[in-house]
Amino acid sequence: MKSRIPVVLLACGSFNPITNMHLRLFEVARDHLHQTGTYQVIGGIISPVSDNYKKKDLAAAHHRVAMVRLALQTSDWIRVDPWESEQAQWTETVKVLRHHHSELLRYLPQEEGRGQGRAVSPAPAAVPELKLLCGADILKTFQTPNLWKDEHIQEIVEKFGLVCVGRAGHDLKGYISDSPILQRCQHNILLVREPVQNDISSTYIRRALGHGQSVKYLLPDTVIAYIKDHNLYSTGSSCKGNSAQNSEGEAS
Partner 1 sequence: MENPQKTEVVLLACGSFNPVTNMHLRLFELARDHMNATGKYRVIKGIISPVGDAYKKKGLISAHHRVIMAQLATQTSSWVEVDTWESLQKEWVETAKVLRHHQEKLEARGCEQQDSPVLERPGRKRKWAEQRSELNQKKTLEPQRKDVPEVKLLCGADLLESFGVPNLWKREDIANIVGDYGLVCVTRAGNDAQRFIYESDVLWRHQANIHLVNEWITNDISSTKIRRALRRSQSIRYLVPDLVQEYIEKHNLYSAESEERNVGVILAPLQRNTAATNSRTTTA
User: 64: part of which helix (H) or strand (E)?
Assistant: helix 61-71
Determine, following the binding rule CB under 8 A, whether residue 165 of this chain makes contact with partner 1.
no
* Residue whose C-alpha is closest to residue 132's, from 199, 204, 44: 44
Q: Which is nearer to partner 1, 52 or 247 (CB)?
A: 247
Quote the least distance from Cβ 89 to partner 1, whole Å. Answer: 33
Minimum distance of partner 1 from residue 26's CB (angstroms): 9
87 binds partner 1 (CB under 8 A): no
Half-sphere exposure of 210 (CA within 13 A, CB side): 10
Q: What whole-number distance in Å separates Cα of residue 144 and Cα of residue 179? A: 11
Residue 213 makes contact with partner 1 by CB under 8 A: yes
Q: Which amino acid is at 199?
A: D
Is residue 201 part of the contact set for partner 1 (CB under 8 A)?
A: yes
Q: What is the DSSP string of 69-111?
A: HHHTTT-SSEEE--HHHH-SS---HHHHHHHHHHHHHHTS-S-
Applying the rule CB under 8 A, the residues between 4 and 43 that interact with partner 1 are: 20-21, 23-24, 27-28, 30-31
Nearer Cβ to partner 1, position 146 or 246?
246
Which among 222, 148, 126, 161 has a CA at the least distance from the CA of 33? 161
Candidate residues 62, 90, 217, 230; the one interacting with partner 1 per rule CB under 8 A: 217
Distance of CA 56 to the CA centre of its chain: 19
Least distance to partner 1, CB of residue 157, Å: 26
Nearer to partner 1, 97 or 219 (CB): 219
Where does this chain bind partner 1 (CB under 8 A)? Answer: 20-21, 23-24, 27-28, 30-31, 74-75, 168, 195-201, 204, 213-218, 221, 243, 246-247, 249-252
